[in-house]
Amino acid sequence: MAQEGLSRALRGTFRSIGAAPRPQCQRAIRQARRALLPSTARCISSTAPRPAELISETREPFTAAPPINFDAQDAAQGARGRDVKVILKNLRVVPASPSYFSAKPTFNDDYIKLTALLRKVATLPTVPNSEAPKVAWKGIDEYRIMTNEPVKTQRFHKMLHIVRRLNTIHPSLMPEEVTIAMQRYKKASQPGDVKPNPGVIDELGRAKGVGRRKTSSAVAWLVDGEGEVLINGKTLAEFFGRLHDRESAVWALKATHRLDKYNVWGLVQGGGVTGQAEALTLAVAKALLVHEPALKPALRRAGCVTRDMRKVERKKAGHVKARKMPAWVKR
């Protein structure tokens, strides 16, 4: 009966398609499709209530795993060794380090520890980089030797960026754990470790300074006076014939307008006249800083504080001079 009713519906549909205009044909085709397809209830909106029949058909029974009761297992096992085995069988062992499965985990461990430490102290007040303590950090070659790992340069710089950020924490609020962590990345010798011996004014009111330039060395003593200068027992004009060398010898006093306030007595040896004059410049400047330490910025601007390390380059074998080569002759 069902097949006979279906064939009658199809015949009626085809007759209506042939007799109707085009829009009605399409409507009839849609009606035929609805007649052929089985009627199914569909839920269009996820928020609309679903029929009770569909809920009962689609839901599957679900039961959560019961919690592990170790006390009951202990009573059932009886022996202590068996209890431990059961506990270990049910527990999941977590590696101590996140990089447990890597071949060389030292760098990863260092980076993870620094990142966690930075998150912990991120809210502490900081100072600008110019005011942070001056620290000489290890280079990538030193770190590779220390960890015995081929660390990439980019990854090392990322880690060093975190270390520099930790170094900007205010010194009065610096946690001890941060200080201990940063010690691993510092060089053995720091800029502030080597400090020169402080200058002392002796009982006669003299301050001593030592200077060197090229192969010349000079020692100068400064004492309050009227501006007299003696070098190796001679006056300044007698010892230095050139005006430029005379100005170089007492340039520290001239740059700070102290020519008529101190007397200078100097001893020089080695090198030439220019080297001796510039060695005296550094010696007089150091002696002047003992008397007046506040003049250091002015002396630094005048170029009297820093030692000039330049020297004459040595002659090489086969050369005419240090770099000059003999003329090349074809024949």
Domains annotated for the chain, with CATH where assigned, are 2-101 (no CATH), 105-183 (no CATH), 207-301 (3.30.230.10)
pLDDT tens per residue across all 331 residues of the chain: 455 555 676 666 656 655 555 555 566 667 666 665 555 444 444 444 454 444 444 445 545 556 666 566 556 555 555 566 666 666 776 777 778 787 788 899 999 999 999 999 999 999 999 899 999 999 999 999 999 999 999 999 999 999 999 999 999 999 999 999 999 999 988 887 888 788 899 999 999 999 999 999 999 999 999 999 999 999 999 999 999 999 999 999 999 999 999 999 999 999 999 999 999 999 999 999 999 999 999 999 999 999 999 999 999 999 999 999 999 998 8
Kindly list the distances between the CA atom of residue 195 and the CA atoms of 15, 191, 309, in Å, as whole numbers in the listed order.
112, 9, 19
Asked if residues 181 and 113 have their Cβ atoms less than 8 Å apart, the reply is: yes
**CB-based burial, 152-163: b 16+ in 10 Å, e otherwise:** eeeebeebbebb
- β-partners of residue 219 are 210, 267
Contacts 24+ apart (CB under 8 A), 106-113: 106/147, 106/148, 106/149, 107/147, 107/149, 107/151, 107/155, 107/156, 107/159, 110/147, 110/159, 110/184, 111/155, 111/158, 111/159, 111/162, 113/181
- In 3D, which of 104, 189, 97 has the Cα closest to residue 152? 104
φ and ψ of 264, to 5 deg:
-120, 130
- In 3D, which of 129, 140, 116 has the Cα closest to residue 164? 129
Distance CA 84, CA 321 (A): 84
CB atoms within 10 A of CB 219: 17
Q: Where are the alpha helices (DSSP H) in the chain?
A: 2-19, 22-36, 52-58, 70-77, 80-90, 106-120, 140-147, 153-167, 176-183, 236-239, 243-249, 251-255, 273-291, 296-302
Over residues 237-288, the pLDDT tens digits come to 999 999 999 999 999 999 999 999 999 999 999 999 999 999 999 999 999 9
Tokens of 243: 């005006």
Asked if residues 118 and 109 have their Cβ atoms less than 8 Å apart, the reply is: no
Tokens of 285: 């400047």
pTM for this prediction = 0.52
